[in-house]
């Protein structure tokens, strides 16, 4: 009997350290509503949502040639744009995988630091990424900007699991 074999979602033979623009989605484990809640037309962060935001804003600091663009936190996932510039030649060279792994590891560690339960997953395994062509940037930015207003129509929205404070 074969275990669940995950289909690779990365682009075959793509160099994830080279110049490029990436649209990233990272979901919470089980798509639990841990990061924020939508009240009327506003997204309000939970403490872990605030940590996720602050950590995202610092995600590129250790790396030369990495910059951030638009970003949004939703109740059970985040979207962001990471830009790899050609200048990533000196200093610490990172792949997209390295950056996301470090982000998820740091936020998970901080989340469980003061908890009785010190193990578990804050984030689901893996992440989604899409290579963005420069001509598509406005469309991707608009999607990120409008995501909170369109939350009820989002593929990650689940009526049956309304916000739960499980921290």
Phi, psi torsion values for 131, nearest 5 degrees: -75, 125
How confident is the model over 111-131, as pLDDT tens digits?
888 665 555 689 999 899 999
Q: What is the pLDDT at residue 165?
A: 41
Q: Which of 36-45, 74-83, 100-109, 154-163 has the lowest mean pLDDT?
A: 154-163
Q: What is the pLDDT at residue 78?
A: 96
Domains and CATH numbers, the chain: 20-150 (3.30.70.1290)
- Rounded Cα distance between 141 and 71, Å, is 9
Q: Please report which confidence band the pLDDT of residue 39 belongs to, taking 50, 70 and 90 as the band edges.
A: confident
The residue with greater pLDDT, 102 or 157, is 102
- Rounded Cα distance between 66 and 63, Å, is 6
The residue with greater pLDDT, 49 or 162, is 49
Residue 167 has pLDDT above 50, yes or no: no
Is 127:26 a contact under the CB 8 Å cutoff?
yes
- Rounded Cα distance between 160 and 144, Å, is 24
Q: Which of 8-12, 60-64, 86-90, 95-99 has the lowest mean pLDDT?
A: 8-12
- Rounded Cα distance between 133 and 137, Å, is 7
Q: What is the pLDDT at residue 101?
A: 93
Residue 97: its H or E element: helix 96-112
Q: What is the pLDDT at residue 89?
A: 58
Handedness of CA 31, 33, 35, 41 (dihedral sign): positive
Q: Which of 125, 106, 133 is nearest to 8 (CA)?
A: 125
């Amino acid at each position: 009997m074969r275990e669940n074999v995950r289909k690779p979602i990365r682009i075959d033979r793509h160099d994830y350290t080279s110049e490029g623009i990436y649209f990233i989605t990272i979901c919470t484990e089980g798509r639990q509503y841990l990061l924020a809640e939508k009240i009327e037309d506003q997204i309000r962060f939970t403490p872990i949502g605030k940590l996720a935001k602050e950590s995202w804003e610092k995600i590129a600091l250790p790396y030369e040639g990495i910059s951030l663009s638009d970003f949004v936190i939703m109740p059970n996932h985040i979207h962001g744009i990471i830009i790899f510039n050609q200048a990533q030649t000196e200093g610490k060279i990172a792949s997209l995988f390295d950056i996301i792994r470090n982000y998820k590891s740091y936020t998970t560690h901080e989340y469980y630091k003061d908890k009785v339960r010190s193990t578990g997953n804050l984030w689901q395994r893996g992440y989604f990424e899409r290579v963005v062509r420069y001509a598509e940037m406005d469309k991707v930015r608009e999607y990120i900007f409008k995501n909170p207003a369109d939350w009820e129509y989002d593929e990650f929205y689940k009526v049956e699991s309304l916000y739960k404070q499980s921290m």
